[in-house]
Amino acid sequence: MKFTEKLEHAWTHADSMLMVGLDPDPQRFPAELKGKPDAIYEFCKGVIDATAPYVCGIKPQIAYFAAQRAEDQLEALCDYLRTAYPHLPLVLDAKRGDIGSTAEQYAAEAFERYRADAVTVNPYMGFDSVEPYLAWEEKGVIILCRTSNKGGSDLQFLDVGNGEPLYLHVASLVANRWNKNGQCALVVGATFPNEIAKVRERVGDMPLLIPGIGAQGGDIGGTVAAGKNSAGLGMMINSSRAILYASNGDDWREAAAKAALDTRNAINAAK
């Protein structure tokens, strides 16, 4: 199934626009997993099983796995997710950006090695750095636009002419020129609801990946009001640490499930 079809299915069948991010930090794991060789896999699998009924997708952040030399555990998790929850979109958060020949390798990493449904991509090296991902027409290509961090303003707010900030120029480029296969989405931070609204106005119903609620403090009500599309959907609102580390006691699975359910309900209440 195409990424966009999987996403639509998850939005409607799980009645959820919450995406759970997997940012596994062994220092924060519950005691029962500490020191186990496959602790990252076990922890993430536990969180996936606990939260799957309440989410529209799962977003592993590749840096957390690579830093622990745990790419094999990420591969095993991707296999598990695909088998146990075949309708749930798998978004690999990699944010790669490089010249075309190298981007081809990064695209193969995301779509062949991990068999992700979608991947995050940094567009600031231009079209030829994004094109190899777009060649995978069934897959989602989720392009950084207005990121959730404060420092994003250093470059993304630069005026490219007539008062147009760079992030809106990127939004227009993606919507009008790069999205020929209808496979693109944009990353916009929940920490900047005014900018979410401007991006939504610019790109119509295109899906938005919105990190920044939970640990980064973004407001759910403001995010949903600014980001919903014409169908009242259109968002993958990501939360990672606030769900993963809701408890580090024996009840970590139940706490993650409750945090996901509460967040899903708060998003739906704001629709």
Ligand X SMILES: O=c1ccn([C@@H]2O[C@H](COP(=O)(O)O)[C@@H](O)[C@H]2O)c(=O)[nH]1
Q: Which residues bind ligand X (CB under 6 A)?
A: 21, 23, 61, 93, 147-148, 187, 189, 211-212, 214-216, 238-241
Looking at the Cβ atoms of 4 and 156, the one nearer to ligand X is 156
Looking at the Cβ atoms of 39 and 121, the one nearer to ligand X is 121
Nearest distance from C-beta of residue 223 to ligand X, angstroms? 12
Q: Is 36 a catalytic residue?
A: no
C-beta neighbour count of 262 within 10 angstroms: 15
Dist CA 30 CA 18 (whole Å): 24
Looking at the Cβ atoms of 7 and 143, the one nearer to ligand X is 143
Nearest distance from C-beta of residue 62 to ligand X, angstroms? 9
Looking at the Cβ atoms of 16 and 238, the one nearer to ligand X is 238
Nearest distance from C-beta of residue 260 to ligand X, angstroms? 12
Bridge partners for 184 per DSSP = 141
Please, which residues have CB within 8 angstroms of residue 191's CB and are 6 or more apart in sequence?
148, 149, 212, 216, 217, 218
Nearest distance from C-beta of residue 162 to ligand X, angstroms? 26
Could you give the strand order of the β-sheet that contains 140-146, starting from the edge strand earlier in sequence?
57-60, 18-22, 235-239, 208-211, 184-188, 140-146, 118-121, 91-96
Dist CA 4 CA 48 (whole Å): 21
Single out the catalytic residue among 6, 34, 36, 95.
95
Q: Which residues are catalytic?
A: 95
